Structure 1
Amino acid sequence: MPEPWKQRLDAIISEKRDEVRDLRRHLHAFPEPSGAELATSMHLYQLLGQLGVDVQMGPEGCGVIADSLAPKDKTLGRIAVRGDIDALQIQDEKTTPYRSTHPGIMHACGHDAHSAIAYGVVQALVALTESGELPWPICWRVIFQPAEETAAGAAQMIEMDVLADVEKIFALHVDPTRRTGEIALRSGPMTASCDSVQLTITGRGGHAARPHESRDPIAAAAQVISSLYQFVPRATDTHDAVVLTFGSIQGGTNPNIIPDHVELHGTMRTLDSRVRTRTIEQIQQVIRGVEGITGTKIEFTLDASIPSVVNDANSTALLWQAAEEVIGAKNVQLITRPSMGSEDFACYLEQVPGAMFRLGSAADLAAITPLHTPKFDIDEGALEIGVRVLARSVVAACATNATSNQSA
């Protein structure tokens, strides 16, 4: 039989499930891209204000921070939950009533679900506090973060000092490759570090009929991409994971004109800082070789770097126990290998311990709609599970904090 506070918490979350679902649908219907989440933030700010918690807006009106009222025990550190709020620039091709009403923008990565779940956590913790059935004092902060997709939002929120007094932080990400009712997590590295790569190749333009009179940056671009794709994997230990991909090539205006310069934009992902350093050195080595062969100048820059999500062992254990209580031990799965995807939740974990888990969100694995695709959707039954696991974890973590503070 669950402890009384857990029974009460579950009952509260069940009572509020429709409100969480409706918020998710509202956010899905009115998505906003990274750095422009003004209406989203105001909507959340107003809803949270009605719950009677301390609320403040994020930088330039994007993002929201909700805090529990100050506890009597001033030594208690806060337990934080992060939800992200930005959408992607993808056209929604679903036919659901809540499909995006904003052309070319949709929640194709589940951030609407993450935000709705985070709101549900606030609802549940406020109601449990008001019921007088808390097992011990709790102190929490819920961060509704903008601009996750551009890797800028976490850093912006940290600059606002949202981690002040925070002892632990939790987050989740919906996973359409797992059934609703399943959760997956791991201690240690969970995602790859990600660096935005830009190569600017400067040559000398000319007539397409007389390439010998020019220093062709398009030819150099082809050479550098081919060499990097071949050389980097061959120079990397087969036990180490490295992904280098260029997704954008920009240069030239006419088919019969050799341009002066070309820009390449891509991404580099690694799981180990030493491998990252070696890979950067390998890229620079290839660049020097191509410069010598082609007579061009190649400028190499890294930008918007995100570290790996590294889950803290204690925080992972708290999430694991809560998940087993909510969905049963057989439905909690170990992630055996880190993902080569990236997540700027990692920036918080560089400052305080915490953990992220994968929340199964597929009703039918035979009809998966992958992340970042025009028909992406979730089984909304996953929302209540996410709220339950995170809310329980926050309360449990507060017990651990209280014990630690008393010992100190």
Structure 2
Amino acid sequence: MGVLKQWEPVIDQQVAGLEARLIEIRRHLHAHPEPSKEERETSKYLVEQLNDAGLTSKLCRDGLGVIADATLGEPEEDAPLIAIRADLDALRIQDTKTTSYASQHAGLCHACGHDVHATIVLGAALFAAMSLNHDLDAPGARLRFLFQPAEETSDGARWLVEQGAVDGVDSILGIHVDPERALGTVGIRYGTLTANCDEIEIIIEGKGGHSARPHHTLDPIAAAAKLVSSLYEFLPRSVDSRSASVFSVGKIAGGTLPNVIPDRVEIRGSLRTLSTETRETLKTRIEEIVHGVKELSRTMMHLRFLTPIDAVDNDPRVTAALELASRSVLGDEGIKLITQPSMGGEDFSGYLTRVPGALLRLGVAPPGFSAPFLHAPDFDIDERAIAIGTRILLRTALILTNERELPVRTGDFTI
């Protein structure tokens, strides 16, 4: 780890010098959130920051997303290319904070920390630009910074990949804030970190009529009630109970008046699984149950599986590099090994089908205090986490570039 030891004091000193600026950048992004597939001003702002630092950046198609390459010091000619990804989109949630940097856009809020992710990765890019002026006699790294739109709608990773974001990339790094972890800690997971996710849409078409004469109708609400009940009843009994899965309905919409049976009902839900086998089994069972209730109710049912996301499966070597980098920043006490995967989804997996990579959970809760959960209207972080995240990512890139043998955990931390 000799190369890292040479870089550590430079990284720590320079990132500390950048910290106030990074907090200012984060607050600007937080105050000006944009929803998925509309992050044009955010992308433009990041391009300006990168260009002002002397880096060459590419604004992606339709002004959505940014790709920038840089070198950290003077890497070897055959050094691997390490990508570092951030997401940009906000949520359609009303910000309830009263801080000076609360959202200025009604009905929009950075409640999932994507403003923080973008700032952390931008901090790494700004340091890379500054590193060209150092007289450090140590190998560096080749870096690519990806600022991705539309993570919340699961479109963004594919959007960047189609535009060459991972062409020539050897490994990719990601980071996600975790308000359930204290500042100064990180969550490391070897193997599966998040679940496969499939959004489900079911449109039920019946025959409407007066609620006093249901025999003249084909009631889609009755069919929807039967269908949801059947899905909840039979899906858990369709797979091995030791194989984690969860099916949830989040939306049922139909009808306008209490005395009118409508002719259409919409059901939206999600299926989350950890294994491909369980995923395919349950998708087949959903099709079978929908068909059965359709026949029973004599309605028409149209089933679609939308925006599929694969599980994030952290690569062992990249994860080991993240762990070593985190230990060098936070010490042994700051490392928390995640023993169970999350049933949430993350489209970072869209890169992992092409290149090995890993995602880190970054603690952002003030020590001794609980922070609002992700997607909460008052979501906020301890901003000291920004510099921590930047330091970890820079160290990880150097480790991946310059260390051939890395200690990889197995056993309890691998599915």
- TM (norm. structure 1) is 0.95
Worse-matched range after superposition: 118-127 or 251-260:
251-260
Q: In the alignment, what sits opposite 2:189?
A: 186
1:399 equivalent to 2:398? Answer no
Cα RMSD of the aligned pairs, angstroms, is 1.9
2:151 to 124, 139, 148: 148
| Matched-pair contact (CA < 8 Å) for 1:178–1:365 | no
Q: In the alignment, what sits opposite 1:405?
A: none
Task: Supply the distance in 2 between the matched residues of 1:253 and 1:365 (Cα, whole angstroms).
Answer: 48
Task: Supply the distance in 2 between the matched residues of 1:355 and 1:12 (Cα, whole angstroms).
Answer: 25
Per-residue deviation at 1:73? 5.5
1:358 equivalent to 2:361? Answer yes
2:252 to 249, 253, 265: 249
For 1:198, give the aligned amino acid.
Answer: E
Q: Deviations over 1:3-24 (max 9, x none)?
A: 2321111111111011111111
Runs (4+) off by over 4 Å: 69-74
Task: Report percent identity of matched pairs.
Answer: 41
Per-residue deviation at 1:69? 5.7
1:330 equivalent to 2:315? Answer no
Task: Supply the distance in 2 between the matched residues of 1:139 and 1:189 (Cα, whole angstroms).
Answer: 27
Per-residue deviation at 1:400? 4.3
Worse-matched range after superposition: 39-48 or 227-236:
227-236
Task: Supply the distance in 1 between the matched residues of 2:78 and 2:335 (Cα, whole angstroms).
Answer: 34
Q: Deviations over 1:63-89 (max 9, x none)?
A: 111111697865433100001111000
Task: Supply the distance in 2 between the matched residues of 1:76 and 1:193 (Cα, whole angstroms).
Answer: 33
Q: How does 1:2-13 map to 2 (within 5 A)?
A: 3-13=5-15
Q: Deviations over 1:337-361 (max 9, x none)?
A: 0000110001001110010010000
Worse-matched range after superposition: 278-287 or 150-159:
278-287
1:196 equivalent to 2:199? Answer yes
Aligned pair count?
403
For 1:12, give the aligned amino acid.
Answer: Q
For 2:318, give the aligned amino acid.
Answer: S
Corresponding residue SS for 2:258: coil
Q: Deviations over 1:78-117 (max 9, x none)?
A: 1000011110000000111110010000100000000000
Q: In the alignment, what sits opposite 2:407?
A: none
* 1:134–1:285 CA distance, 2 compared to 1 (3 A): farther
Q: Deviations over 1:180-230 (max 9, x none)?
A: 000011111000011110001111112111111111111101110111111
2:263 to 260, 264, 281: 260
Q: In the alignment, what sits opposite 1:49?
A: 51
Q: In the alignment, what sits opposite 2:84?
A: 81
Q: In the alignment, what sits opposite 1:404?
A: none
The runs of 5 or more residues in structure 1 that have no matched partner are 402-408
Task: Supply the distance in 2 between the matched residues of 1:365 and 1:206 (Cα, whole angstroms).
Answer: 59
| Matched-pair contact (CA < 8 Å) for 2:93–2:107 | yes
Q: In the alignment, what sits opposite 2:279?
A: 276
Q: In the alignment, what sits opposite 1:235?
A: 238
For 1:168, give the aligned amino acid.
Answer: S
2:319 to 289, 304, 316: 316
Per-residue deviation at 1:236? 2.4
Per-residue deviation at 1:40? 0.7
- TM (norm. structure 2) is 0.94
Task: Supply the distance in 2 between the matched residues of 1:380 and 1:274 (Cα, whole angstroms).
Answer: 41
